[in-house]
Structure 1
């Protein structure tokens, strides 16, 4: 069966009791072999890809983003829900809140950001006016409303290189630039998904206020603790969103290259 829906995230989202007929799959791509799980939910096949590998063993700057996105495309995925733990620069977006980002600012440095590097692939300048699929964001908002979760329908996600946390001066700069959230994974994931003509939505869970805003120094344990406390809400939100969409839905995101070639 073709897989049309995928979740990219960590073990906080995945619950073996949610999906039926779970099986491990390996997908060979030009960028490497990707291991993932495929299961069924309400009659829909769903792929789950653990971005950081087993035991959170891969740091954000070394994630093989191209292989991951290429593997999902190979499976036939059309819609991606990508979860992320983020810090907040916006006092209105408090720990425990969900944010469905609509824009990003990219401050990564060493990652492979494109499938198009010349040669046989050519050079493509993909449009990123609406990087996160507006339709999937609407679905997430509807699901969050049903569960009465505290969420924000839009926000600007600052992507930093990591794995270190940010300095106070960096956070001040990001805030001046209009950033709401700071994390380490959305770029290039969202860009690569657009290049492969897949809809991509970000589900950010705020785990802490960023450096200089938070009254205490940041620790990775703080992030894990808030994720654990809110994991059930995150699972409910993601799975309800999946139940609300047509696996074979069409969208402008899925014609990104065709639209580009016509202009």
Structure 2
């Protein structure tokens, strides 16, 4: 199915293991600036499955910006200015839930924010009025369904629930911290889920997380976490992530913009 000329592009923010997106037919690359500074990398414009896409490498390309220093405001603003109204945030995460081991795919439905000191709102400075947004459901339910339907259609094992615990980084967590997060109800842990999700919400964009578990969280296995283990899980599981993205583009692109962002 060919995209219509006036179709809005779907935004894909790639994290660890997804600095580039194979299958993306690139039509252009644009270095942009925003009132919040420059995004992590140039916007890569193209098509995926004949649907328009704007891809952004969250940690830069090459991968060099640590989670706590990502300019999340510039990233989301740049995508918004490029016409994106639906965003898929691809995240490498650690598994806490017993069913969410390495190379498993998760489309979480909730999150808990443990980060601190990050620029986490557009609503600050000289405002006309204080603004509070509803954030009861941090991930767009329609976009989640599109991703989950794509997984089911391809026979990909994918958890349709999960609480994402966002930690500060760049260090990994202690075993005691993970035990605390598990008591709090977290199923997966990552370092980039916030403030990305809330900034998208402030702009009125549909936002969904596509998580790939790349290691057991601290204390959840009988060994220390190594980069070799993380790389192996990425090599194994990223093909499922990319297939889900390819198969969901038509559905994501067909979602109408939310009223406040159109």
Please indicate, yes or no, whether the TM-score normalized by the shorter chain is above 0.5. yes
> Would you identify which runs of 4 or more consecutive aligned residues in structure 1 move more than 4 Å?
14-17
Q: Deviations over 1:139-191 (max 9, x none)?
A: 11100001111111110000000000000110010000100000000000000
More helix, by proportion: 1
1:84 aligns with 2:99: no
Equivalent residue number for residue 178 of structure 2: 171
1:238 aligns with 2:245: yes
Summarize the Cα distance change of 1:33–1:144 in structure 2 as closer, same or farther, 3 Å threshold: same
Which SS does the other structure have where 1:54 is aligned? Answer: coil
Displacement of 1:17: 5.0
Cα distance in 2 between the residues matched to 1:246 and 1:37: 17
In the alignment, is the contact (CA less than 8 A) between 1:127 and 1:256 conserved in 2? no
Displacement of 1:257: 8.3
Displacement of 1:24: 1.0
Number of equivalent positions: 255
In the alignment, is the contact (CA less than 8 A) between 2:49 and 2:249 conserved in 1? no
Match of 2:139 among 132, 144, 149: 132
Summarize the Cα distance change of 1:146–1:14 in structure 2 as closer, same or farther, 3 Å threshold: farther
Summarize the Cα distance change of 1:120–1:257 in structure 2 as closer, same or farther, 3 Å threshold: farther
Summarize the Cα distance change of 1:111–1:11 in structure 2 as closer, same or farther, 3 Å threshold: closer
1:56 aligns with 2:63: yes
Equivalent residue number for residue 123 of structure 2: 116
The farther-off stretch of 181-190 and 17-26 is 17-26
In the alignment, is the contact (CA less than 8 A) between 1:83 and 1:202 conserved in 2? yes
In the alignment, is the contact (CA less than 8 A) between 2:151 and 2:158 conserved in 1? yes
Return 5+ residue gaps in structure 2 as ranges.
Answer: none
Which SS does the other structure have where 2:62 is aligned? Answer: helix
Summarize the Cα distance change of 1:26–1:98 in structure 2 as closer, same or farther, 3 Å threshold: same
Displacement of 1:230: 1.7
Cα distance in 2 between the residues matched to 1:203 and 1:105: 16
Instruction: Give the aligned CA root-mean-square deviation in angstroms.
Output: 2.0
Displacement of 1:121: 6.2
Displacement of 1:211: 0.8
The farther-off stretch of 222-231 and 144-153 is 222-231
**TM-score by structure 1 length?**
0.91
Equivalent residue number for residue 250 of structure 1: 256
Equivalent residue number for residue 36 of structure 2: 31
Return 5+ residue gaps in structure 1 as ranges.
Answer: 259-263
1:46 aligns with 2:53: yes
Cα distance in 1 between the residues matched to 2:75 and 2:43: 9
In the alignment, is the contact (CA less than 8 A) between 1:60 and 1:185 conserved in 2? yes
Cα distance in 2 between the residues matched to 1:170 and 1:60: 18
Displacement of 1:11: 7.0
Summarize the Cα distance change of 1:58–1:256 in structure 2 as closer, same or farther, 3 Å threshold: same
Equivalent residue number for residue 23 of structure 2: 18
Equivalent residue number for residue 9 of structure 1: 14
Displacement of 1:93: 1.3
**TM-score by structure 2 length?**
0.91
1:205 aligns with 2:212: yes
In the alignment, is the contact (CA less than 8 A) between 2:19 and 2:63 conserved in 1? no
